[in-house]
Amino acid sequence: MRSSTSGVGREHGALEPVTDASLSGLRDRAMESASLPAVLLAVDHDRAVIVWANTALARLTGLDADAIVGEPLTVLDPPGAVPVDRAALEERLALEGSVTWRSPGTRADGTSLWLEYTMSVVPSADGVANGDACPGSQDADHVTHRSCFVADVTRQVRECEEQRRSFAVEHDARTTLDTISLVSDLLTDLDYPQVLREIATILERGVVGWAGFFLDDGGLRFAEGINAHSVTTRGAHRIARETGVEMDALGDARAPGASTSLEHAATTFIDPLRDLLDGLITGPISFQLRTDYPVGTVARWLARSVRDKMDVAHDAGETEPFVVVSAVSGRRRVLGILVTSQQDQSSAGLDGATTTLLDLVSRRVGMAIDNVRLYAREHQLAETLQRAMLPEQVEIPGLDVWTFYAPTSEHAQVGGDWYDVLQINDGVAGLVIGDVVGHDIEAAAAMGQLRSVVRSYAFELTSPGTVLERVDQLLVGMRIPRSASLVYATLRQADESSWEIQYSRAGHLPPLLVRDGQVHQLSGAGGALIGFGSRSRATATETLVPGDALIFYTDGLIERRDRSLRDGLAALVEASERVTAMDAAGIGEELLARLADAPEDDVAVVVVRVPDPGADTSASTLSPRSRRWLLPSEPASIGRARHAVLRTCQVWEIRDVANAELVVSELVANAVLHGWGHIALRLFDTGDGLRIEVEDSNPSPPVTTDGHANRMGGYGMQIVERLADWGWRPSGTGKLVWAKVRESGARSARSRT
């Protein structure tokens, strides 16, 4: 059998046997003419130099192959390039016998490119590899040369870099969208007291190193939440500059007259933060947390505050860290700033994507703050106007008066129903209850006009019929768009125990007179709706004796869709006959408990009772052990609350009511001073003490303080703590403060229900 080589040679008739010498020359020519650049390096201890390079390398780099002989492989590196870690390459080469790496290169004309090197160990002539047969593990004494192939990978590197940049842009965009989405979700609950702190935490999760909000609420302060009712004084930082007083976070003077060089500082130092807050520059700005800013400047206060928040220590000789300050802008002015830093605090700025994200976040937060404060201002304005139209009641000496009012609308404190209890003069009281059709804002506006007219004539004229006649005449020209009904009555004290009531009705349901368990409808002196009276109005008269009770009401108390108004009136009469309470508030509570479970219209109720000292102290009642009052937010309500507690404790036979009077005074006083809207007072007999509840529309909780230096006040909740167990809870748009009074005396032996 013949070899394949000789067979091929005979078959083609052109090939000659290849000798070792001719094969060596053939290899040299093949390597020289190969298209892949290659070099051969000679190793001399720790130094490897080029001993041969082929033509392809010369074409790739533009360097003369003979000129680079004797040079190290770094001759292909660009000037100033960071050298490759040769020690690591040598270690890998010794272990694996071959190593590949990439590094930037340069052509002879200065053009940059990326080169990929593949270096291999050339075995020694005897083929001995460190005493064993493991390739690539040859002893340094036997390794004399290395081969290295060079490839141009500029296109691949640039494509990878472009792809990396594309991925980075996509990642930044996704991060921005995710962050904005989370921020938007948080801003849907602006009542959350830590909303700004949560947003800052989101930014700190991979976006920035530290973040914090500072709001300008009459002075710059660190903020974790949004105060919707803050009073903002523009330019508090400017006041500091002009007066020479250093301001703290709330704009309060910290050190009056502390800086005598402030005027000089103001003229030589331009505070970029003050300009940012004043809207003179838009930002963001790079701000260094230096400690040498002039006293009294915003820059000095912010640098100190941020250093404390970031826990940055000042070390001599070290560069002060930088932060980026972005304006938190509302519609018309800057509301505060957002301060951020990146992980490397020595850097003076953030990248473009992060800057864009912070701008979006600060703008969104600014608009949210502006919206919530605008809404709060409008809501407070609406509440102020509504509070001016809320029903009023004065204390009438010699009478027990209880009132109740509840509008149907969830968004308004007033509707079309109203009442007034007026002290016309000594011994004469006026009482009005009325109902304007509808329970919306237009009905409330019509009610306000009508109420003013009735009040005006009530103080001028004495006869109810005459008052309604004058109201009819005036309303003809006022063009009030809603029809209305009302009852106007005057109560005159006839003697020490009896009263006389005169009344006139304008299309309104008859008041009820409850006497000895019997109910009489005061249906006399009826007439057309107010403003439609074409004839003179009549006046009816009744005499009230001790124990009598009058019930005035609007149709919202008795009218339901599933029954007629006549049936509703019959239900009210029946409920009034079953009343067992010996006080006006107790009568009202019983009626509400039986009739006002699901009102479909505004409800107004006034109960007037002539006290009967003899019967009241000996009667045993089964009335509900709860009472409620709706009080206007005014100082006079404090006295009314004390009187209500006193009368209720007498009815419930709770002795020693001094503690209860003090507690209710403090709770109602706090609601008047610090709350807004109407005040709801509720009393409960729990069986082992009196529970007092006071509700207002301010959601901020009460705070126990040590008082205020150099002025009276601030000890209210301390008094409450000494006399009662107390707490609070959110209630609707406001809060409810409760206190259970500790009894200091025993009750009477009379049974309680």
Is 466 in the same domain as 589?
yes
Distance of alpha carbon 640 from alpha carbon 405, whole angstroms: 16
Tell me, yes or no, whether 140 lies in a domain: yes
Distance of alpha carbon 639 from alpha carbon 641, whole angstroms: 5
- Got the DSSP string for 419-441? EEEEEEETTEEEEEEEEESSSSH
Is 526 in the same domain as 647?
no
Judge whether 416 and 429 are in contact, CB under 8 Å.
Answer: no
Tell me, yes or no, whether 275 lies in a domain: yes
Tell me, yes or no, whether 385 lies in a domain: no
Is 121 in the same domain as 270?
no
Judge whether 597 and 725 are in contact, CB under 8 Å.
Answer: no
Tell me, yes or no, whether 501 lies in a domain: yes
CATH for 555 = 3.60.40.10
Tell me, yes or no, whether 158 lies in a domain: no
- For residue 502, the 8-state DSSP code is E
Is 147 in the same domain as 284?
no
Tell me, yes or no, whether 9 lies in a domain: no
Distance of alpha carbon 251 from alpha carbon 743, whole angstroms: 45
CA 235 → CA 196, 220, 258, 336, 687, distances in Å?
23, 10, 20, 12, 57
Tell me, yes or no, whether 162 lies in a domain: no
Q: Is 440 exposed, middle or buried (0-12, 13-18, 19+ CB in 10 A)?
A: middle
Domain boundary among 330, 357, 379: 379
Q: How many domains is the chain partitioned into structurally?
A: 4
Give pLDDT, residue 133. 38
> Average pLDDT by consecutive 10-residue portion of the chain (753 residues)?
43 56 72 86 83 90 88 87 84 88 90 91 62 42 80 91 84 77 82 85 84 85 79 42 39 34 53 86 86 86 89 65 89 89 62 81 89 79 66 79 76 73 89 83 81 89 90 80 89 89 94 93 91 86 94 89 87 91 87 76 88 70 74 85 87 82 91 82 86 87 63 68 88 85 54 35
Q: Is 410 exposed, middle or buried (0-12, 13-18, 19+ CB in 10 A)?
A: exposed
Q: What is the largest CA-CA distance in the chain?
A: 154
Give pLDDT, residue 457. 92
Find the distance separating the first CA and the last CA of the chain, reported in whole Å.
127
Is 204 in the same domain as 332?
yes
Tell me, yes or no, whether 306 lies in a domain: yes
Is 372 in the same domain as 396?
no
CATH for 55 = 3.30.450.20
Domain boundary among 92, 124, 152: 152
Give pLDDT, residue 748. 39
Give pLDDT, residue 314. 59
Is 442 in the same domain as 472?
yes
Could you list the residue range(s) of the whole structural domain that residue 294 is in?
171-379
Give pLDDT, residue 697. 81
Query: Could you tell me the pTM of the whole model?
Result: 0.55
Is 592 in the same domain as 686?
no
CA 530-534-540 angle, 5° bins: 65
Mapped onto helix, strand or coil, the DSSP state of residue 171 is helix
CATH for 240 = 3.30.450.40
Q: Is 627 exposed, middle or buried (0-12, 13-18, 19+ CB in 10 A)?
A: buried
Give pLDDT, residue 752. 35
Is 519 in the same domain as 564?
yes
Domain boundary among 379, 410, 440: 379
Helix (H) or strand (E) holding 24: helix 20-33
Residue with tokens 């007083």: 245
Is 252 in the same domain as 300?
yes
Is 509 in the same domain as 361?
no
Is 272 in the same domain as 230?
yes
